Amino acid sequence: MELDIGCHCSFKECQQLDFLPIKCLYCELLFCKIHSVNYMHNCPVEADSSQALLPADDGQPKSYKCTFQDCKDTVLTQVLCDECQKQVCLKHRLPYDHQCSRLVIKEIDLRTPKEKVEDLIGRKLDESKVKVSVGRKSKTTSSKVLK
């Protein structure tokens, strides 16, 4: 008595009962793990380059074209920008790579820490009055560094 689970590999020399068969993207036949790769079962449809990679009845395109300016790259899966929801290729997947319309560029504060403190307290720091306390270990380490 045989269970109605899985199916036999479509490769004539194999015919192994597989509980998790894999469908070939080209000929749409079911194969075991070993023969699921198109060159392992001598796929007749794969050799014909005019066949679409995905089945035509799915209504999905063979590939997705990048929408960034003059880019002609295509990808097999849909890559949408999280911000503007435009289709992009892997090269332009980051918002700043495709000049995303929703990208907000933050200004970088190039001031030194001393300048930031001076702005906070509202006056210039007098470096002659600044006392730096250095511990015994720090003196030993700094003397080694300065040599």
- Same-domain pairing of 46 and 8: yes
Per-residue model confidence (pLDDT) at position 133 = 65
Number of domains in the chain: 2
- Same-domain pairing of 1 and 43: yes
Look at residue 80 and tell me whether its pLDDT is greater than 70: yes
- Same-domain pairing of 12 and 47: yes
Does the residue 11 lie in any domain? Answer: yes
Does the residue 136 lie in any domain? Answer: no
d(CA 78, CA 93): 11
- Closest by CA to 21, choosing from 4, 8, 12, 39, is 8
Does the residue 146 lie in any domain? Answer: no
- Same-domain pairing of 80 and 36: no
- Same-domain pairing of 103 and 72: yes
Residue 23 sits in a domain whose CATH number is: 4.10.1110.10
Look at residue 147 and tell me whether its pLDDT is greater than 60: no
CB distance 28 to 10 below 8 Å: no
Interval 80-103 mean pLDDT: 86
Look at residue 105 and tell me whether its pLDDT is greater than 80: no
| pLDDT band (50, 70, 90) for residue 54 | very low
- Comparing 8-12, 78-82, 116-120, 134-138, the range with the smallest average pLDDT is 134-138
Per-residue model confidence (pLDDT) at position 91 = 92
Does the residue 7 lie in any domain? Answer: yes
- Same-domain pairing of 27 and 71: no
Does the residue 42 lie in any domain? Answer: yes
- Same-domain pairing of 46 and 68: no
- Closest by CA to 27, choosing from 18, 36, 15, 19, is 36
What is the pLDDT of the chain when averaged over all its residues?
A: 77
Structural domain span for residue 10: 1-51
